[in-house]
């Protein structure tokens, strides 16, 4: 069943383009996500925007008036098998256009195209620290986009004037020509070069926007970055992109996160990893480490005696928030602490002697290896190590 785009905007079927535009702007102000963040309101805002894009396009509106849906699949008032038999080919009119350049058999062309067009999306990159990605942040950003001309309100004409019908195409938006071929006379159509297919000409354009209905402006808006975002993620601001030609509905603004490297922590999804250097003596005797976490608080890490290099401690729930696709947080990741045992270098004589005494007590003393000419000699470090193993 075709959608009722008129009911969506709350206008009658014979509404003028200006009535349709006013109805859309009124609803858009009420339902815009920045004003009404409710999920149902956002869904309604999308429906209203779609309805406006359809009804502001004369060609699509004509399909609606004939009982079809220009955004559906063969939803026209066609015949056989309960739908349009030419749906897979874009409709009978498109087939005739492909062969005869504008509705063959003496029929009319596509008609003028709407001056009101939807705007493009915009993209802005925002650098954030790992701390900001973890906690979320509200950031004021400056964007330079096309906005609605406040002098002509998007119409493009100077105050007190209105567009006039194009004399070249008579308001049809296209001009036709007849060419002779071996098949006979073939009629072709092309967009009117004077009005560029709009069917009307702005004879007295607005001085501020030069008839485009929009101007470029720099503005500052506040973007709310949720907790748990990561590098490359995008935050969508509906309706904050480029305003379309003729004052058409604005596209969306996407803010892409560029996460900056951290000096202590690395990220793996919602988990955090960090390396902590541990003296050899502390690893052998055991100790307690005081670790500063990403949020500035401290965690005590109990290091058992005899801890080996590469030992990993995991603190559950001290990682980053787990951000779901709906923008809500569901739990936190973990913090992984990797212990790097540091072997001392540049020992003085006293320290070296103490280590030799310890090695003797443990039966691990290592004589200097000597190698004869034929390769025979006393055992070196690794062969002796295998003989007594770990103690």
Beta bridge partners of 276: 339
Specify the DSSP element, H or E, that contains 262: none
**H/E segment holding residue 15:** none
Q: Residue 169, annotated ligand binder?
A: yes
Is residue 101 over pLDDT 60?
no
**H-state helical runs in the chain:** 5-9, 17-31, 39-55, 58-65, 92-100, 130-135, 280-285, 349-361, 381-388
- At 95 the pLDDT is 39
All domains in the chain, ordered by first residue? 1-90 (1.10.287.110), 121-153+210-260 (2.60.260.20), 266-342 (2.60.260.20), 358-388 (no CATH)
C-beta neighbour count of 11 within 10 angstroms = 18
Mean pLDDT of 201-205: 93
pLDDT at 158 over 50: yes
- Give the pLDDT confidence score for residue 181 in this predicted structure: 63
Q: How confident is the model at residue 72 (pLDDT cuts 50, 70, 90)?
A: low
Distance, first Cα to last Cα, the chain:
81
* Backbone conformation region of residue 105, classed left if phi is above 0, alpha if psi is from -120 to 50, else beta: left
Three-point CA angle 155, 161, 167, nearest 5°: 90
Q: What pLDDT is recorded for position 247?
A: 87
Task: Indicate the helix (H) or strand (E) that contains 203.
Answer: none
Is pLDDT larger for residue 374 or for residue 335? 335
Question: Does 133 count as an annotated binding residue?
Answer: no
Tell the burial category of 346 from Cβ atoms under 10 Å away from its Cβ (0-12, 13-18, 19+).
Answer: exposed
What is the rounded average pLDDT of the residues 73-93?
38
Cα gap 155→58, rounded to integer Å: 16
**How does the average pLDDT of the chain come out, rounded?**
82
Q: What is the pLDDT of residues 3-47, one digit of tens each?
A: 889 999 999 988 998 888 888 888 887 887 766 777 787 888 888
């Amino acid at each position: 069943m075709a959608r009722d785009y008129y009911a969506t905007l709350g206008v009658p079927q014979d509404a003028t383009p200006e009535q349709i535009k006013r109805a859309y702007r009124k609803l858009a102000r009420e339902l815009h996500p920045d004003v009404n963040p409710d999920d149902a309101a956002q869904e309604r805002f999308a429906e209203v925007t779609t309805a406006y894009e359809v009804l502001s396009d004369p060609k699509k509106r004509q399909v609606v008036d004939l009982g079809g849906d220009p955004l559906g699949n063969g939803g026209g008032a066609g015949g056989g098998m309960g739908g349009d038999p030419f749906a897979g080919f874009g409709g009978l009119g498109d087939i005739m256009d492909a062969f005869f350049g504008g509705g063959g058999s003496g029929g009319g062309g596509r008609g003028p195209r709407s001056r009101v067009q939807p705007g493009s999306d915009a993209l802005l990159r925002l650098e954030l620290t790992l701390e900001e990605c973890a906690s979320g942040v509200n950031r004021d950003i400056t964007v330079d986009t096309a906005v609605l001309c406040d002098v002509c309100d998007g119409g493009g004409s100077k105050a007190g004037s209105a567009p006039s019908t194009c004399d070249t195409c008579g308001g049809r938006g296209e001009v036709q020509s007849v060419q002779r071929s071996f098949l006979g006379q073939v009629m072709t159509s092309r967009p009117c070069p004077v009005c560029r297919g709009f069917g009307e000409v702005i004879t007295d354009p607005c001085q501020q926007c030069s008839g485009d209905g929009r101007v470029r402006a720099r503005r500052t808006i506040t973007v709310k970055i949720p907790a748990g975002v990561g590098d490359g993620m995008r935050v969508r601001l509906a309706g904050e992109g480029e305003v379309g030609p003729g004052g058409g509905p604005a596209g969306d603004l996407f803010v892409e996160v560029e996460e900056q490297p951290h000096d202590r922590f690395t990220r793996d999804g919602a988990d955090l990893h960090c390396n902590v250097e541990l003296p050899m003596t502390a690893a052998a005797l055991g100790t307690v480490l005081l670790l500063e976490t990403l949020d500035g608080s401290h965690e005590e890490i109990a290091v058992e005696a005899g801890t080996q290099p590469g030992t990993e401690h995991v603190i559950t729930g001290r990682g980053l928030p787990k951000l779901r696709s709906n923008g809500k947080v569901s739990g936190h990741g973990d913090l992984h602490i990797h212990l790097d045992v540091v072997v001392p270098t540049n020992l003085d004589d006293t320290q070296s002697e103490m280590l030799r005494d310890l090695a003797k007590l443990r039966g691990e003393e290592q004589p200097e290896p000597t190698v004869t000419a034929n390769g025979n000699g006393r055992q070196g470090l690794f062969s002796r190590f295998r003989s007594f193993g770990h103690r």
